[in-house]
Structure 1
Amino acid sequence: MKRSLAAAAIVSVVASPAYAGDVKIGAMNALTGPIPDLAAVILEAEQAAVAHINANGGMWGGDTLVLASGDSGCDAKAGVDAATKLVNVEQVSIIVGPICSGATIGATQAVTIPAGVVNISPSATSPAITGLEDNDSVFRVCPSDAYQGVTIAKLARSMGYSKLAATYANDDYNAGLHDVFVKAFKELGGTITGDQMHEANKASYRAELATLSNGGPEALAIFAYYNGSGITIMRQSLENGFFGKFIGGDGMIAQEVIDEIGADNLGDAVFTKGTADQSSSHFKTFAGLFDRPSDPYTAQAWDAVMVAALALEHAGSATRDLSAHVRAVANAPGAEVGPADWAKAKALLAAGKDINYQGIAGVHEFDENGDVGGVYGKNVVSGGKWVETLMD
C-alpha cells in the first residue's frame, strides 16, 4: 500500500501533566506540514470537546480527561514517530486522529494496530483506509473519498464541464481522491485532457501547467494541500494564463488561499469537503460551544473526541480494548445522545442503558470497516471568505 514519506517533518508530543485520576487520550494532528492552520483549529475543537466533558462530570467517578497531542506533519514517517510516543511514552488509551490519510496509514500499520490501540480519525478520507487489516481498530467519522471523488465529478458535470485537466500531489489523500474523481468523471461522459502527478513544495509548476493547458481543458482539477503545492499552482496558473477556473477537494479550503490568491481571482473556484448540516439542531448546539464551527473538520473533531471518551466511559476503565465499546456507543440501538449530552450519556451508561451517539457531522453508524456515511458541502469564495452550500 502506498505511503507518503516526505522527509524531515518535525514531530512533537505536547500534553498537560498527568496526575492520579487522569484519563489520557491521544490526538494526532499536523501542526507542521502542508495544513498547519487547518490542523490548529481541529486541535482547538478537540481541546474544547475535552473541556466540555470535564465540565460536565468528567470520566467515571469524576476523573479528568487529558488530551496528549502529537504532531504527524501529514507525513507517514512523522506519524509513526508521533504515534510511538503517544502509545509508549504517553500511554494513551485511544487516539483521535491522525487527521491526514498518509499519516493514518503509516501510523496505524506500524504502531497502533500492533499495539492494539484504537484510532478514530476526524478527517483521514483515503479509500485505502477502508481495506486496512486493522483488527477492527481503525475508525473514522468522515466519509471516504470513494464518495467525495464521485461527488466532485458530478459537480463538475453539473457545472457544464466536459473537458478537465487534473493535477494531484504525491500523497495518499490526494492521489486517492484524484483516482476516484478521474474514474467517475470519465464514467459520466467527461474527458481528462491531461493528468499529472506532482511533488509538493516546489518553487515552480509552470512546466507542468503549460503541458496541462494543452488540449482545450475548461478548468483545472486540483488535488493538493493548499500549503504544500495548491496555492503555488493556482497563482502560477493565473499569472501565466494557463487556467482561470478550478475545482477540487477539501485540501484547498483555507483562508490562506484567499489571502494569497485574492478573492477577486477566485470567482471560478469551487471545492468540496465533508461537512455537517448547518441547519441541524446538533450543529446549532455545536456553534454555541465552539467559535469556529464551520471550519473544515472541526465538527468531526468534536465528534471523534466524544465517541472516544464515551467508549472509555462505557468500558469503565482506561483499557485499550475499545473496539467493541466504540461500536456500542456509536451504533444503534440505544438512547440518542448528542454533542452536548455528556452528562446525560454518563447517567444512562451508569444506569446500564445503551446509548447511540448522534454526531454534529452525522449519525456515525460504523460499518464493518469502521467507515461512516456523510454529507458534502460545495465551497466558493464570496465576500472574502469561503461560503458553503450543502450538496444533495
Structure 2
Amino acid sequence: MSTKIRALLAASVAGATLLAASAAVQAQEVKVGIIFGFTGPLETITPGMAGSAEMALKEVNDSGLLLDGQTLTPVRADSTCIDNAAATAAAERLVTTDNVAAIVGADCSGVTIGIVNNVAVPNGVVMISPSATSPALTDIDDKDYFFRTAPSDARQGEILTEVIRSNDINSVAVSYTNNDYGKGFSDSFVAAFEAAGGTVTIAAPHDDGKGDYSAEVGALASAGGDMLVVLGYVDQGGVGIIRAAVDTGAFERFGLGDGMYGQSLIDAIGDDLEGTVGVIPGAEGEGSEKFAAAATAAGLDPTSSYTGESYDAAALIALAIQKAGSTDRTAIRDAVLDVANEPGEKILPGELAKGLQILKDGGDIDYVGATNVELIGPGEASGTYREYIVEGGEYKTVGYR
C-alpha cells in the first residue's frame, strides 16, 4: 500500500472518529427553550427571569445526574411580549430548528396563548410559563402541554382588592393594557372589588407605545375615584398613564398589578409614587429563603418580578425529564404533575441534585421550589402574593396573602 493511500485512509478514519465524537456530544445535549420578552414592555425584568431559569439548569448540569450525565443547554428566544407573529415565529424556531425538549415561557399572556395554540400543541411540546397569568389560559385547549408556576389573575384580582380595601379605599378608576392580560385582569379585579362593596368609576383600556396619555387620564379623572388602579406594563403604557396622572394632578394614590412592579417605575416617577400599593406573586418560607441566597450569590435580584417562578419552571422541566427517563416530549408532559405534587420527598432550591438522585433510584419527589409549587387543576399554580408599598423610594414588603 502506497504512503499516499495510507495517509488517505488515516485521514478518513480520523474524520469518521471526529464525526462520531461530535454526534455523541450532540446526543448528550438536551436543549431547553427560554422564550421571554427580551425586548418590549417588560424588558427590564426579563434578564432576571432568564438568569433564574438558567441558574436552575446550571444546578442540574453541575450535578451530572440528569439521564446519566446529559446536560441542559438553554436556548433564548425573544417573545417581544406583545407581537404574536414574532413570538410564534421565535417559538417555531426553538421547536423545529433548535429541537428543544421543552420550553420555559412564554412571559406575557397574549403571546403565550398564541404559542400554545400555534406551536406547542401542534408539535407536542411542554411549556411552563412563570408569568403568563391571564384567566383565559385556565381553559385553553392545550392537550395538557401547558403549565404555569404563577397563579391566575382571577385570584390576583381578589388579592389586589383585599389590599386596596384594607387601605380604606372605597372607589377606584381602572386603566388596563389593551390585550388579553389586561382585559382578563381588569374583569377579575372589577368583579372582586364590586363584590367587596367598592365602587369602580371607570375601567378603560390604554394602548402601549404611545407618547401621550393625557386623553386617557382625562377620561379617568372625569370619572373620579380615591385611587387609580393601573393594570399594565412597567416599561410601556402603564408608566405613561401614571406619569400623565402625576403631571396633571389627576390622582395622588395608585394601586398596581403584577406587570407594574419594577425599579424602572420608581426611577421614572420618583417621589410621586410614595404610598403606592400593589401585589406580585411571591412566597415566604424556607424555599424562598434558599432561592434568595442562591440568586444573590449568582448576581441576581431575588425580589425582581417572577425570578422564583422562572427558577421553578426550569427546575420542573429538568425533574420531569429525569422522571420520564428520556427527552421524549410527551413523556415529559406526563411527568410534570408527578414531580410537582405530593407524594414524595420535598425538594427545595439548591436540592435539585437530591431530587434527580431520588428519581433515578425510582423514588418520588414533591417539588416545593422557590414559590411553594403546587399545581392544581389543569396545571395551574395555587400561588401566594407579596403585598408591598412604596416608601422612601423603595418597595417594602407588607406581608403575604
Identify the residue that residue 198 of structure 1 maps to in structure 2. 206
Identify the residue that residue 284 of structure 1 maps to in structure 2. 289
Identify the residue that residue 275 of structure 1 maps to in structure 2. 282
Counting only pairs closer than 5 Å after superposition, residues 101-250 of structure 1 correspond to structure 2 as 101-250=109-258
- Aligned 8 A contact 2:279 2:387 in 1: yes
Identify the residue that residue 303 of structure 2 maps to in structure 1. 294
Comparing 264-273 with 115-124, greater Cα deviation is found at 264-273
- Aligned to 1:36, the other structure's residue is in SS state coil
Are 2:56 and 1:49 aligned? yes
Comparing 50-59 with 237-246, greater Cα deviation is found at 50-59
- Aligned 8 A contact 2:44 2:235 in 1: no
- Aligned to 1:214, the other structure's residue is in SS state helix
Q: Deviations over 1:146-183 (max 9, x none)?
A: 10011111222111111111111111112111110011
Q: Provide the rounded CA distance (Å) in 1 between the counterparts of 2:199 and 2:289.
A: 41
Q: Provide the rounded CA distance (Å) in 1 between the counterparts of 2:266 and 2:193.
A: 27
Comparing 132-141 with 151-160, greater Cα deviation is found at 151-160
Of Structure 1 and Structure 2, the greater helix share is in 2
- Aligned 8 A contact 1:332 1:355 in 2: yes
Letter in 1 for 2:328: T
What value does the CA root-mean-square deviation take over the aligned residues? 1.3
- Aligned to 1:164, the other structure's residue is in SS state strand
Counting only pairs closer than 5 Å after superposition, residues 300-339 of structure 1 correspond to structure 2 as 300-321=309-330, 322-339=332-349
Counting only pairs closer than 5 Å after superposition, residues 72-87 of structure 1 correspond to structure 2 as 72-75=79-82, 76-87=84-95
- Aligned 8 A contact 1:22 1:64 in 2: yes
Q: 1:78: how far off?
A: 2.0
Q: 1:203: how far off?
A: 1.1
- Aligned 8 A contact 2:126 2:146 in 1: yes
- Aligned 8 A contact 2:109 2:132 in 1: yes
Q: Provide the rounded CA distance (Å) in 2 between the counterparts of 1:242 and 1:193.
A: 14
Identify the residue that residue 355 of structure 2 maps to in structure 1. 345
Q: Provide the rounded CA distance (Å) in 2 between the counterparts of 1:59 and 1:227.
A: 38
Q: Provide the rounded CA distance (Å) in 2 between the counterparts of 1:249 and 1:135.
A: 30
- Aligned to 1:359, the other structure's residue is in SS state coil
Could you say which structure has the larger radius of gyration? 2
- Aligned 8 A contact 1:219 1:246 in 2: yes
**Ranges of 4+ aligned residues in structure 1 off by more than 6 Å:** none
Comparing 314-323 with 50-59, greater Cα deviation is found at 50-59
Letter in 2 for 1:290: A
Q: 1:139: how far off?
A: 0.3
Letter in 2 for 1:68: V
- Aligned 8 A contact 1:193 1:214 in 2: no
Q: Deviations over 1:4-38 (max 9, x none)?
A: xxxxxxxxxxxxxx834111111111101101011
- Aligned 8 A contact 1:23 1:59 in 2: no
Q: 1:95: how far off?
A: 0.6
TM-score (norm 2): 0.90
TM-score (norm 1): 0.92
Identify the residue that residue 390 of structure 1 maps to in structure 2. 399
- Aligned to 1:284, the other structure's residue is in SS state helix
2:386 to 373, 377, 380: 377
Q: Provide the rounded CA distance (Å) in 1 between the counterparts of 2:292 and 2:162.
A: 30
2:33 to 19, 26, 47: 26
Identify the residue that residue 62 of structure 1 maps to in structure 2. 69
Q: Deviations over 1:259-279 (max 9, x none)?
A: 1111x21113112111121xx
Identify the residue that residue 91 of structure 1 maps to in structure 2. 99
Q: Provide the rounded CA distance (Å) in 2 between the counterparts of 1:244 and 1:216.
A: 12
Q: Provide the rounded CA distance (Å) in 1 between the counterparts of 2:394 and 2:257.
A: 17
Letter in 2 for 1:348: I
- Aligned to 1:258, the other structure's residue is in SS state helix
Unpaired stretches in structure 1, ≥5 consecutive residues: 1-17
Q: How many residues align?
A: 371
Q: Deviations over 1:304-327 (max 9, x none)?
A: 111000000111111111222111
Q: Deviations over 1:119-150 (max 9, x none)?
A: 11111111000010111111001111110011
- Aligned to 1:221, the other structure's residue is in SS state strand
Q: 1:58: how far off?
A: 4.6
- Aligned to 2:294, the other structure's residue is in SS state coil
Aligned-residue identity in percent: 37
- Aligned 8 A contact 1:58 1:65 in 2: no
Q: Deviations over 1:179-212 (max 9, x none)?
A: 1001111111111112211111111111121121
Q: Provide the rounded CA distance (Å) in 2 between the counterparts of 1:149 and 1:232.
A: 22
Q: Provide the rounded CA distance (Å) in 1 between the counterparts of 2:143 and 2:339.
A: 19
Identify the residue that residue 5 of structure 1 maps to in structure 2. none
Letter in 2 for 1:332: E
- Aligned to 1:352, the other structure's residue is in SS state coil
